[in-house]
Structure 1
Amino acid sequence: MAIPVETFYLDARGQATLQARIQQMIAQGILSGRFRRGEKLPSTRKLAAHLGVSRITVTLAYTELVASDYLMSRGRSGYFVSDNAPEPPPVPALTVPADRVDWTRAIGQRFTGGAAPDKPLDWARYPYPFIYGQTDASLFDHANWRLCAVQTLGQRDFAALTSDQYDQDDPQLVEFIARHTLPRRGIIATPSQILVTMGAQNALWLAAQVLLTQRRRAAVEDPCYPALRDVLTHTRCHLSAVPVDGDGLPPELIPDGTDVIFTTPSHQSPTSATMPLARRHALLDRARALEALIVEDDYEFEMAFLRAPSPALKSLDEDGRVIYAGSFSKSLFPGLRLGYLVGSAPFIAEARALRASVLRHPPGLMQRAAAYFLSLGHYDALIRRTARAYAERRHVMEAAIAAEGLSIAGRGAHGGSSFWMQAPEDTDTDALALALRGDGVLIEPGRPFFAGDAPPGRFYRLAYSSIPSERIPEGVARIARAMR
């Protein structure tokens, strides 16, 4: 490998002759390990021009280094680090400097300690991964996503890819959300009412930061998405965990004095309960009576393959009190980290300013690539293909669960991608999940989804989004055997 000429520079403070300083520079590079045996040095002409010295000075320096066996000359090929050049000394073991800071006092706010589910990064190597929210490579449209990404890298989209948009979003992506995605949910919004986020979790964080203070109260479903509970805890607001039932969040249980209500009406996380239309109207009435706002996480609405999805809360809202959070991260792939907030313009303006102070805007490359994938129809085709596969897997899993005598605690009335399961009394699903890993099976224990100091340990989630149909019966059978 050739050593780039830019690697060489002379110390302006050196006192020796130019020839000696060049020799020392190269020798130090070899002794430090930066230049390795067999690597080619720049030609004498190129190095002389780079250093601003005469070519004869570099030639003499090279000649001296050849004589001392640091370099070797290979005919017309040039100069190389000699095979007999001194080896750099072994690197001593690094010693971590002592940390004398009292971090228990230095840390002003703590963000650790949340009850996040344990999801192994190597989940794909397990033969029976009933794990939620990961991409199934067999369903994803690799070819068209690659074409959209390549198109984004072209000269036509150079500005969208490279410019600092400060607090603005890709206009093509915003237009698609406004004209195609939201109308399907019965929502009409202008670009000033839409903000692109780094996934739904970032959308929920922005909403919580803008709407909540230490004096305000938030109501959240119990059980719920653990990261949302952590986000709300960080705001130091008063937090009320409201138990859900088979229809989702009961409006009558929302306590007086609540300022913001967080809910997942399409597919409650993690129970998959779908809120009926009558309850949606009742929830809006309860929020109106409390003068509260609602943050609607329209979780998994695309996966309504059993029947048409219920209208979004936002589409029923006549007061502007519903803030809508959507995401492409689950329906495309989690690593995409693209979502969006929809709300009244004053709220979006504050959320946009907050986002700009933290990360300006999501990467232009991902926004434009997603905009092409959506607008060219590839996204709709992917959703249809995924829905068909999920419908088949759900049917297979229901049959396997019934055959093994396991109990379903919650299932999406419209579809979804998982079952909320209930084990026998006194079952510790954390221990069960650990035992099943050794048998090649991954499940999600339910304890992290619950609030309180003593969450129930008998619940667990089985997702069929990341496991092919033919493996489901044996995986469910292994769960049943381990439980017995």
Structure 2
Amino acid sequence: MAISVDTFFLNPDAQGTLQAQIQEMIAEGVLSGRFRVGEKLPSSRKLASHLGISRITVTLAYTELLANDYLTSRGRSGYYVSENAPVPPSYTPPQRSDDAVDWSQAIARTFTGGDTPRKPRDWRNYRYPFIYGQVDASLFDHANWRLCALRALGQKDFAALTNDYFDQDDPLLIEYIARHTLPRRGVTARPEQILITLGAQNALWLVIQLLLNRGRKAAIEDPTYYTLRDQLTHVRCQMDCIPVDADGLPPEQIAEDTDVIFCTPSHQSPTTATMPMARRKQLLERAREIDAVIVEDDYEFEMSFLGAPSPALKSLDTDGRVVYVGSFSKSLFPGLRLGYLVGSESFIRQARALRASVLRHPPGHIQRTVAYFLSLGHYDSQIRRTAKELHNRRLVIEEAIAAHGLSISGVGVYGGSSLWMRAPEGVDTAAAAERLREKSVIIEPGAPFFAPQHRKQNYYRLGYSSIPASRIEPGLALLSEALKPS
């Protein structure tokens, strides 16, 4: 690979001769790892012309670096970074210390410091990764995904690949969602009522920005998806964290001055509780009484291997007060970051305008690739294959949990890819999780899911989508040992 001449600049405030400055510039690039072994330097003529200096100055600098073994010469081919050069294993930009801005004063609103934990990026290197929300490479249809991506790159789809949709979306993807995905949840919607988002998290952000401010109140489940609570904190609205029970969110606990209700009725996050039909109707009635909007996050309905899922809350809505959030991140792969919002046309029009002002639209190539993967039947095949394997792992993990005396706190009616667990009183699962990593076991501590005023340290989540069935029992044996009260 050739090093671009455009990466070379002379510092007008630098000391020393031009030759010394060029030598220092190249040596610094090699020592920092920015210039790698075997990479070709610009020719002396090209670098001299770029810097506006004499060619002999560059030649002398190259000669000196050659003598010091930073560079090597290959006949008439030019100069290259030497194999003997002291190159570090990775590139680390030099630390600058000239930041004169007091960012603690300059930043008007902070977005860090919440409860969102960081999952280990190297989780695939662990032997027992009970991690939620990651894809199992053995279950993903790589071949057909690749074919769909290549088809989306073809001349026929050049417009879908390159066009600026401004505030619109790929019509092929919108049509599939309207004709196939939503009807499976009992939902009917026109294209004007559907908006593609960068995953469910982006969809929730759009909803929060449009519906809430400092003078309004949101009711959320407790425990809940921790990023939702962080996002609500950012808009500084009032927040009512309502403890869930075995059937999910209790409608009678929702205050009269609530403006927006956030819920996960099909598969409560993280307890996995499924809201019965009677309570769903009560929730809609309560929202109607207090004139509140309901935001339904239907994040994992495809994984319903234990039985057919109940219709979505949105399907029971006759007032247009339910905003529906769907996502392909769980059913395809999390790195896809593609989801959708469904709501009344007036609401979606504003959400479309807000999205356009921030990111215009999700990449057209990604939208068209997903549209092909869905419409050609590959998605349905993958869902069936994944659901079958998850069902098998669910049987294995439940048997292992019983054998090792572990306690399940919540059991979803329709399946899913995780279990909400309870450790003995007095056990801090965050501390246990740190100890377990040393034994190549990953679990997800439950404390961040709870609001600060209801925080519990002895809960945790076990995901089973990322661990082979054969490793579940030995992993739970290690977990059981680590959770024993000291």
Measured against the shorter chain, the TM-score band is: 0.7 to 0.9
* CA 480–151 in structure 1, closer or farther in 2 if over 3 Å, else same: same
CA RMSD of aligned residues (A): 3.5
Q: Which amino acid aligns with 1:148?
A: C
Per-residue CA deviation, residues 169-201 of structure 1 (Å, 9 max, x unaligned), is: 111111111111001111111111000000001
Query: 2:34 aligns to what?
Result: none
Per-residue CA deviation, residues 349-392 of structure 1 (Å, 9 max, x unaligned), is: 11111111111111112111111111111100000000000000
Question: The residue matched to 1:33 in structure 2 has which SS?
Answer: helix
Q: Is the 8 A contact 1:225 1:449 kept in 2?
A: yes
* CA 94–78 in structure 1, closer or farther in 2 if over 3 Å, else same: closer
Q: How does 1:286-435 map to 2 (within 5 A)?
A: 286-435=286-435
* Cα distance between partner residues in 1 of 2:148 and 2:462: 33
Query: 2:89 aligns to what?
Result: none
Q: Is the 8 A contact 2:252 2:286 kept in 1?
A: yes
* Cα distance between partner residues in 1 of 2:281 and 2:319: 13
Shift, 1:33, TM fit: 2.8
* Cα distance between partner residues in 2 of 1:460 and 1:214: 32
Q: Which amino acid aligns with 2:26?
A: G
Question: The residue matched to 2:452 in structure 1 has which SS?
Answer: coil
Q: Is the 8 A contact 1:189 1:342 kept in 2?
A: yes
Query: 1:277 aligns to what?
Result: 277
Shift, 1:99, TM fit: 3.6
Q: Is the 8 A contact 2:172 2:371 kept in 1?
A: yes
Q: Is the 8 A contact 1:284 1:317 kept in 2?
A: yes
* CA 374–25 in structure 1, closer or farther in 2 if over 3 Å, else same: farther
1:33 to 7, 10, 26: 26
Query: 1:225 aligns to what?
Result: 225
Query: 1:133 aligns to what?
Result: 133
* CA 82–225 in structure 1, closer or farther in 2 if over 3 Å, else same: closer
Question: The residue matched to 1:203 in structure 2 has which SS?
Answer: helix
Query: 2:111 aligns to what?
Result: 111
Q: Is the 8 A contact 1:166 1:360 kept in 2?
A: yes
Q: Which amino acid aligns with 2:417?
A: S
Q: Is the 8 A contact 1:433 1:445 kept in 2?
A: yes
Shift, 1:116, TM fit: 1.3
Matched, 1:191 2:191: yes
Per-residue CA deviation, residues 113-136 of structure 1 (Å, 9 max, x unaligned), is: 111134111111111111100010
* Cα distance between partner residues in 2 of 1:225 and 1:42: 56
Q: How does 1:122-201 map to 2 (within 5 A)?
A: 122-201=122-201
Query: 2:472 aligns to what?
Result: 472
Question: The residue matched to 2:419 in structure 1 has which SS?
Answer: strand
* Cα distance between partner residues in 2 of 1:8 and 1:272: 56
* Cα distance between partner residues in 1 of 2:98 and 2:327: 44
Query: 1:255 aligns to what?
Result: 255
Q: How does 1:13-32 map to 2 (within 5 A)?
A: 32=25
Per-residue CA deviation, residues 234-283 of structure 1 (Å, 9 max, x unaligned), is: 11111100110011111111111111100001100000000011111110
* CA 430–372 in structure 1, closer or farther in 2 if over 3 Å, else same: same
Unaligned runs of 5+ in 1: 10-23, 52-56, 72-76
Q: Is the 8 A contact 1:2 1:42 kept in 2?
A: no
Q: How does 1:88-103 map to 2 (within 5 A)?
A: 94=94, 96-103=96-103
Shift, 1:299, TM fit: 2.0
Per-residue CA deviation, residues 333-361 of structure 1 (Å, 9 max, x unaligned), is: 00000000000011001111111111111
* Cα distance between partner residues in 2 of 1:168 and 1:402: 51
Q: Which amino acid aligns with 1:446?
A: G
Q: Is the 8 A contact 2:420 2:459 kept in 1?
A: yes
Q: Which amino acid aligns with 2:139?
A: L
* Cα distance between partner residues in 1 of 2:281 and 2:258: 18
Matched, 1:80 2:73: no
* CA 30–251 in structure 1, closer or farther in 2 if over 3 Å, else same: same
Q: Is the 8 A contact 1:262 1:295 kept in 2?
A: yes
* Cα distance between partner residues in 1 of 2:130 and 2:111: 29
If the length of structure 2 is used for normalisation, what is the TM-score? 0.85
* CA 42–129 in structure 1, closer or farther in 2 if over 3 Å, else same: closer
Q: Is the 8 A contact 1:117 1:445 kept in 2?
A: no
* CA 199–8 in structure 1, closer or farther in 2 if over 3 Å, else same: closer
Q: Is the 8 A contact 2:221 2:262 kept in 1?
A: yes
Moved more, 190-199 or 431-440: 431-440
* Cα distance between partner residues in 2 of 1:401 and 1:7: 57
* CA 3–355 in structure 1, closer or farther in 2 if over 3 Å, else same: closer
Query: 1:21 aligns to what?
Result: none
Unaligned runs of 5+ in 2: 10-16, 31-36, 67-74, 87-92
* Cα distance between partner residues in 2 of 1:83 and 1:466: 42
If the length of structure 1 is used for normalisation, what is the TM-score? 0.85
* CA 404–106 in structure 1, closer or farther in 2 if over 3 Å, else same: same
Matched, 1:212 2:212: yes
Shift, 1:454, TM fit: 5.6
Deviating beyond 4 angstroms after TM superposition, the runs of 4 or more aligned structure 1 residues are 1-9, 24-32, 34-44, 68-71, 81-84
Q: Which amino acid aligns with 2:289?
A: A
* Cα distance between partner residues in 2 of 1:437 and 1:369: 37
Matched, 1:459 2:459: yes
* Cα distance between partner residues in 2 of 1:82 and 1:478: 52
Q: Is the 8 A contact 2:130 2:464 kept in 1?
A: yes
* CA 95–280 in structure 1, closer or farther in 2 if over 3 Å, else same: closer
Q: Is the 8 A contact 1:117 1:444 kept in 2?
A: no
Q: Is the 8 A contact 1:8 1:25 kept in 2?
A: no
Q: Is the 8 A contact 1:41 1:79 kept in 2?
A: no
Per-residue CA deviation, residues 114-172 of structure 1 (Å, 9 max, x unaligned), is: 11134111111111111100010010111111111111111221221122211111111
Q: Which amino acid aligns with 1:80?
A: G
Identity of aligned residues (%): 62
* CA 439–28 in structure 1, closer or farther in 2 if over 3 Å, else same: closer
Q: Is the 8 A contact 1:70 1:81 kept in 2?
A: no
Q: Is the 8 A contact 1:268 1:299 kept in 2?
A: no
Larger radius of gyration: 1
* CA 319–100 in structure 1, closer or farther in 2 if over 3 Å, else same: same
* CA 3–480 in structure 1, closer or farther in 2 if over 3 Å, else same: closer
* CA 407–164 in structure 1, closer or farther in 2 if over 3 Å, else same: same
Per-residue CA deviation, residues 310-347 of structure 1 (Å, 9 max, x unaligned), is: 00011000010000000001110000000000000110
Query: 1:54 aligns to what?
Result: none
Question: The residue matched to 2:302 in structure 1 has which SS?
Answer: helix
* CA 101–401 in structure 1, closer or farther in 2 if over 3 Å, else same: same
Q: Is the 8 A contact 2:41 2:81 kept in 1?
A: no
Q: How does 1:39-78 map to 2 (within 5 A)?
A: 78=76
